A and B are shown apart, each in its own frame.
Chain A
Amino acid sequence: MLNFTPEERKITLFLLSLALCGLVLNNLIKVNCRIERMVYPPIQLARLNLNKVNLAELAAVKCVSAVLARRILEYRDLRKKFNSLEELKEIKGIGDQRYSKLKELFYIE
C-alpha cells in the first residue's frame, strides 16, 4: 500500500519527527515558561549589555572608536550605570545618526 521510495520515506520521517518535536516543545512551553527561554535565543547573543561591557569589547564594536569607547565607560562610571539607551546621546560624539546604529548593538539590564 505504502509504495514509497527511500527518499520519500526519509522525508516523511523527517516531517513527522519535526512535527513531533514541535508538539513536545509546545507542550513543555505551556507547562513551564522557562522552557521558552531555552527555545528562543536570549538577547545576550545578539547584543552587548551596556552596563557590563568592557573597554576592549566596546572598542571592537563597529562605529565606536577607542576614544568614544573610553567616553562611554567614563560616563557609565560617573553615573554608576545606564538607565536607558537614550542616555548615550548625552555623550560627546554621539548624535542621532550614531545613536540609531548603537541602539541596535546594545541592551540594558
Chain B
Amino acid sequence: MKRLLVILAVFYCLGIILAGLLRINFWVITVSATAIFAAVILWGRKNGIFLAAVLFLALLVGYLNTRNSWVLSNCHIYKLVAYKDSALYWLNGRIVSQPEFKNNRLWFILRVREIQLDKLRYKCCGEVLIKMDFEQALNYGDDLTLAGNLTRPPGFGRSRGYRDFLARQGIYLIMPIKDYRQIIRQDKFNGVGFIRGCFWLRNYLEQVIRRHLPALPASILAAMVLGQKRDIPWLVNNSMVKSGTVHILVVSGFNVGIVAFMINLLLKILRLGRKARIILIAICLLVYCAITGATNPVIRATVMSLVFLAAYLLRREPDIYNSLTSAALFILVINPRQLFDIGFQLSFISVLAIVYFYPKFETLVHLEAWRSKILKFFAQGCLVSFSAWLGTLAIIALNFRIIAPVTVLANILIVPLATLITLCGFTLVLSGLIYPDLANLISLPTAALITLLLNLNAALIKLPFAFFYL
C-alpha cells in the first residue's frame, strides 16, 4: 500500500477527535491497546487482519495521547494555585520564549521551577504567561524571580477561545507584572544556545528591515520574511481577512522553498557535492524554522521539505501526500490538541485541497492543451486559488463567520505580488547584511510593491459582494 501513512494519520486523528467526545477510562483503553498489540504479534500473519489491527491501534494511540496531554503532573503549577486566589506568589524560573512588546505590554512565557507562597516553597513545573506593563530588556533563557498574583486566562462567557488557545500550548495561568520591583533578575543564562542564537539572528534581521523601510512596509515585510506579525496594524490585518489574503502575512511553504532554493544555489556556486548540499540545506531550513518562531505552517513546510530532501538523498520518489502526513503526524504526536487549532487546520487543509483539487480542475479544463502561456499562467493561478478557497471555505465560515467570494480574485492578483515582495524582502535582508547601499536601492521598489499590494487589497474589499458576515 503506497499511502499507508495517510490512512494511519486519519485513524490517529479520529482517535484525537474521539478523545474529545468520549470519556472512556484511560487504563481501559491502554489495556485494550496492549491486548491488540499482543494479538497482532501473535496472530497477525494475515495481511488484512494485521492492517485492521494496526489502524485500530493508531486510533487508540491517538485517543491515549490526547487524554494523556490533558493530565497535568502533580507538580504542575496549576495544581498548586487555588481558583480566584489573590495571594502574592513568588515564581522562580527561566524565560522560554522571546519576549515580545505588543499592545504596550511585554509578553513572554516563564518555565517555572519553584513557587513560593508566604514562607512555603515548593518545587514545581509548568509554564506561565507573563504580561508586563512596561518594557524591559529581557531575553530568551534569562533566569528570573517574579512576584505577583496568578490569574486564569479570561474566558469571555461561552466562548473560551483565548483560554483554549493558551491551554493548547500548555499555559493555564497568567501573571501580570505592573512594577519594576516585582522582578529580580538572576545573572545567568539558562536556555539552549542554538535557540538564543536564532532569536538573536531574527532580531538582527528585523533591524536590517527596519533600517531600510518605514514602519508600515517594514512591519509587513517582517511578517512575510521573518514571521513577525506583532507590528502589523489592525486595519491592514482586518482588510486582509476580509479579502481572504491574510495567509500572505505568515511564513509558509513558499518562504521555506525560497530559502532552500537560495542555499542550494549558493552551495552549487561553491561547487559542493549533492549529498553535502542536501544536508546543509536541511540544517539551514531547521535554523529558518527556529528563526520564524516554529509556528504550525513553518513546521509543516519544513517537515515536508525535509521529507523531500531525504527522498532525493536516498534516490526515492517523494510523495506529496506522505510528506504532508508526516508533517501533520510530527506536530500531532508532540501535541495532539493542535488538531483543534484553526491555524493548523487551515494550513494543512489548504495544501491538501490544492494537491487534491488542482490536478482534477486542470484535467477538467484541459489546461495542457492551452497554447497562450500568459492565459495558462493566469488559469493556473485561478485554479490554485479556487482549490484553496474551496478547501478552506467551510472552516473559515464556521470559525470567522465570514464568506468572501472576492478571495479567488484577490488571491490571483495579490499572491503573485506577495511572491515578488517576498523575493524582494529576502534580497533586501541579504543585501542589507552584505552591502547596505544596495539595500537602500532595493528598499524603494519593495516599498512601492507593498504600497501597491495594500491599495489593491483596499480596492478589492470595496467591490460589491466582496465579503459578507454570516
Contacts and interface: CB of A to CB of B under 8 A. Distances in A.
Interface string B154-175: 0000000000000000000000
B444 interface: yes
B401 to A, nearest CB: 13
A13 interface: no
A91 B15 CA distance: 52
Interface residues of B, number: 31
Contacts of A23: 441
Contacts of B214: 40
Contact of A38 (B424, B441, B451): B451
B451 A39 contact: yes
B443 A22 contact: yes
The residue among A7, A8, A41, A101 with the most chain B CB atoms within 10 A of its own CB is A41
A60 B424 CA distance: 34
A25 B424 CA distance: 15
B451 A5 contact: no
Interface stretch (B55-63, B230-238, B298-306, B355-363): B230-238
A19 B448 CA distance: 13
B186 interface: no
A7 B268 CA distance: 11
Contact of B234 (A21, A42, A100, A104): A104
A18 B64 CA distance: 54
Contacts of B427: 14-15, 18
B320 interface: no
B414 to A, nearest CB: 14
A81 B394 CA distance: 43
A90 B454 CA distance: 33
Interface string A1-31: 0000101100100110011011101100100
A61 to B, nearest CB: 7
Given A40-B451, A45-B216, A22 B444 contact: yes
B contact face: mostly helix, strand, loop, or mixed: helix
A27 B452 CA distance: 19
A98 B217 CA distance: 25
A contact face: mostly helix, strand, loop, or mixed: helix
A39 B447 contact: yes
B25 interface: no
Given A40-B217, A45-B216, A45-B236, A19 B444 contact: no
B29 interface: no
B450 A26 contact: no
A48 interface: yes
Contact of B233 (A38, A40, A46): A46
Given A22-B443, A61-B234, 7 more contacts: A15-B427, A25-B445, A26-B441, A39-B444, A40-B214, A41-B450, A46-B216
Interface of A: 5, 7-8, 11, 14-15, 18-19, 21-23, 25-26, 29, 38-43, 45-48, 60-62, 100-101, 104-105
13 contacts: A8-B265, A14-B427, A18-B424, A18-B427, A26-B441, A41-B447, A41-B451, A41-B455, A42-B451, A43-B216, A45-B454, A62-B234, A105-B235
